[in-house]
Structure 1
Amino acid sequence: MRHQALDSKLFIDNRAKLTSLLPKNSLAVVNANDVLPTNADGSLKLVPNADLFYLSGIEQEESILMLYPDAFEPKNREVLFLREPTELLQIWEGTKLTQERATEISGIPTVKWLKDFPLALRDAMLSADEVFLNSNEHRRAAVTVETRDERFVEQCKRDYPLHTYRRLAPLLHKLRAVKSDLEVDLIKKAIEITDKGFHRLLHFLKPGVTEFEIEAELIHEYTRNRGAFAYTPIVASGKNACGLHYIDNDQVCQDGDLVLVDTGSNYGNYNSDLTRTVPVNGKFTKRQRDVYDAVLRVMRASIAGAVVGKAHRDWQHEAQLMMNDELLGLGLITKEQIAEHTREKPACKKYFMHGLGHPMGLDVHDVAPLDAPFAPGWVLTVEPGIYLPDEGFAVRLENDILITEDGPVDLMKDIPVEADHIESIMQEATAAR
């Protein structure tokens, strides 16, 4: 793992929160993600299963966590199963977790090898009344590839057809939406790394550089600070920024254009998510500045409006109403169009067609109950934008915030966002070249 060792208290507390929600005499099992193949004998780097990491801190392939809080033997109430680090395995794949190291990371005293899992599972299944199994229930997930968890569900149903099975995901979504202080600290660390990357970008950007060179500057800064891309970055100059998920990042940044950079580092598997739109030559035109300031006003007002008890859909609608007024002032829509505005067909949709923000944490688009209002401990992105393909540019701005009882906290307040501040940094960099 690239990050520094994390406090096992985080995972101990998370397991306690989950077991408090389980009915009496229930069993829960969570599997690691698959190592996915590429071509020939290649494979992708493992992406840790967010739920397994949340409950154990373990980032190793094929790992399994079994929780049985009411097991008769205390040693069987939390059991972690790992690949046995044989000499041959470690020659070919490198160091693997020992049982002792896995206990240090997770706080789980009982760590066994995978060969012990079938018998341990059978023993637990024959005693438990209900069995909670996991699956990816993110509402925007494209579930086209069968996961280890899904294969395990099918195996359990075949081997133990008379058991009562229940969904673990709703419980984990409820818990993961509310970040603990330790989790917020990890998100802040990821944001700190992202801030360094953005400053590096501002000092590097000038007419003639390519979008992929900007991407290279970002990953340089993230990597040297123990981070990594939280997601594939968007580096979109000129009209490219009007494609919401443009990731080719292969064009030259032209003098007079804006470049929209949507990027974030992660740290310890917790993510950040930043968007800034900056002038390639270090100076906004008047039209660019007018649009930029309009988006910034909506972002700041939306941050202030993200309060405890508010429903996400109402927060989104408030932003749309504000955006209507901004677009009117920019000459992009009319009063007549605003008068016809509805939640289903907002007047601003042609120019602001996406969501205002999303929960963030172990996943960039993190899990949370759909119908739950904002609560203390939620971390959200706030990302309004205006897209003008006919004018050859777009502006999107995005900060990450923490919901608290005392109001929203902007976790990215120290990252430059005012147009004057960005211009000043870029002009100083130009003078120093």
Structure 2
Amino acid sequence: MYKKRRDAYLNNINDQSISLFFSGVSPQKSNDQHYHFSVNRNFYYLTGINQQNVVLMTLKGNNEAHSYLFIETIDPVKALWDGAGLSFEEASKVSGIDLTHVKDILTLKSFLNGLVSTNRRAAYGFIESLYLDLERQSENSAATQAGQFSSYVQTTYPYLNIKTNQLVLAELRTVKDEQEIELVNKAVDITYKGLNRIMDTLKPGVYEYEIQAEYNYVLNKHRTDTSFDTIAASGQNATVLHYVENDSKILDNTLVLFDLGVDYEFYCSDVTRTFPANGKFTKRQKEVYEVVLEANKKTIEWLKPGITMKEFNDYGKNILIQGAKRIGLIKEDAEISKYYYHSLGHYLGLDVHDVGNYSKEIPVGALITVEPGLYIAEEGIGIRIEDDIYVTKDGSINLTKKIIKEVKDIETYMNKN
């Protein structure tokens, strides 16, 4: 699987080039403490290896291409404290890279020097470009391993043309294979169980963080983690898109918006549901909820490959506009911006807000969220309904379909006892 992905990557970059991908390292937290390690997703996508301080090199030379892996040798003393890490043989097996191409990371710079020196040109040709995983969206890209290595190369090999491979990987990662969808489905299944526990325990008088703790309990039981900071927003808190304090008491006759997800072997779910605290929607809450639900369901039904992100956003937004007019929330189309102020969805995968070329049409195999919402601060109502949709050649498949969202289903479930 990982070799197939590396081959696809190599088919999309220039000849006579070297590419480097760094797994990353844990930043220091304080004194001898470090933050939890989170592997670089592009590196993981191409290798399947979850370990610090590992480098993937791909080489595209004279009519041939090769992959190399640079990894730390096992230190017996370090192994007593932190674990041994992967052996060369284990790294080879996981990544699918030939064992003879797995090398000590201390030899990376000398190996690179050999590739670009004159005595190796007969074998690989004149290397012109070095592709690095430079994160253009990050103001701190110089602090990354790729950024630091870029500075080293510019000084040592000024004739090499440094390029970023971000867009190439973004487009490749947009199209999910069967194994990726299987992992997302496992994340969704745990999310489903977590949301059911939320409905089982939600009631007026408890605090938002208490319900969040119930969700976390389910994730802990499955040895998984959240894919992003959980939003458990009651009443007017739900009109703040990125509310994460989760410290308010949940009052009677209010709605509670839960935007949450699961990280299952680095693949993410991202689901939003909005529930009545006491198990029963008021007339007004139901009225607004049904507008958002209509936008959610109709957009999912309409979503298909070949449409642009703009068309996707405009389609759902227009349904919200017509619904908001119907319930007397707005009179003019432009007024919708007061009550709906985010895009309709985003790509999903190894990251919650996954990489992808948003200027291109949505391809077959994309995984995208559909999450319309309405936020009426003056009424203390915030509603969003979000599903994870797999785009197929025939339309779309709702991976989160079993997570209930109809008014009658929610009320029946929450009042089953």
**Is the CA contact (8 Å cut-off) linking 2:253 and 2:278 kept in structure 1?**
yes
Matched residues in 2 for 1:133 and 1:57: separation?
Answer: 18
The equivalent position to 2:189 in structure 1, one of 189, 192, 204, is 192
Question: Which residue is equivalent to 1:422?
Answer: 410
Q: CA RMSD in A?
A: 1.7
Matched residues in 1 for 2:209 and 2:306: separation?
Answer: 42
Q: Which amino acid aligns with 1:30?
A: F
Question: Which residue is equivalent to 2:74?
Answer: 85
Provide the aligned length of Structure 1 versus Structure 2.
Answer: 407
Change (3 A) 1:307 1:142: farther
Matched residues in 1 for 2:212 and 2:91: separation?
Answer: 35
Question: Which residue is equivalent to 2:113?
Answer: 122
Question: Which residue is equivalent to 1:3?
Answer: none
Q: CA deviation at 1:364?
A: 0.6
**Is the CA contact (8 Å cut-off) linking 2:305 and 2:391 kept in structure 1?**
yes
**Is the CA contact (8 Å cut-off) linking 2:76 and 2:84 kept in structure 1?**
no
Question: Which residue is equivalent to 1:22?
Answer: 13
TM-score of the two chains, using structure 1 as the length reference: 0.90
Matched residues in 2 for 1:388 and 1:426: separation?
Answer: 24
Matched residues in 2 for 1:80 and 1:71: separation?
Answer: 20
2:228 is the alignment partner of 1:231: yes
Cα offsets for 1:318-365 (capped at 9, x unmatched): 22211111111121111xx23xxxxxxx43110011010000111110
Change (3 A) 1:144 1:255: farther
Matched residues in 2 for 1:329 and 1:384: separation?
Answer: 17
2:391 is the alignment partner of 1:398: no
Question: Which residue is equivalent to 2:36?
Answer: 45
Change (3 A) 1:215 1:85: farther
Cα offsets for 1:81-133 (capped at 9, x unmatched): 11222012112222311111111211112222211212112122334232211
SS at match of 2:346: coil
Map 1:22-421; keep pairs closer than 5 Å: 22-70=13-61, 77-109=66-98, 110-126=101-117, 127=121, 128-138=127-137, 141=138, 143=140, 146-334=143-331, 337-338=332-333, 346-421=334-409
**Is the CA contact (8 Å cut-off) linking 2:134 and 2:141 kept in structure 1?**
no
**Is the CA contact (8 Å cut-off) linking 2:233 and 2:258 kept in structure 1?**
yes
Residue segments in structure 2 that go unaligned for 5+ positions in a row: 122-126
SS at match of 1:79: strand
TM-score of the two chains, using structure 2 as the length reference: 0.94
Which of structure 1's runs of 4+ aligned residues deviate more than 6 A? none
Cα offsets for 1:29-49 (capped at 9, x unmatched): 011223122233322101110
Cα offsets for 1:198-242 (capped at 9, x unmatched): 111111111222211222111221222232100011111111111
Q: Which amino acid aligns with 1:299?
A: N
**Is the CA contact (8 Å cut-off) linking 1:197 and 1:218 kept in structure 2?**
yes
The percentage of aligned residue pairs carrying the same residue is 32
**Is the CA contact (8 Å cut-off) linking 1:71 and 1:77 kept in structure 2?**
no
SS at match of 1:183: helix
Matched residues in 1 for 2:290 and 2:19: separation?
Answer: 50
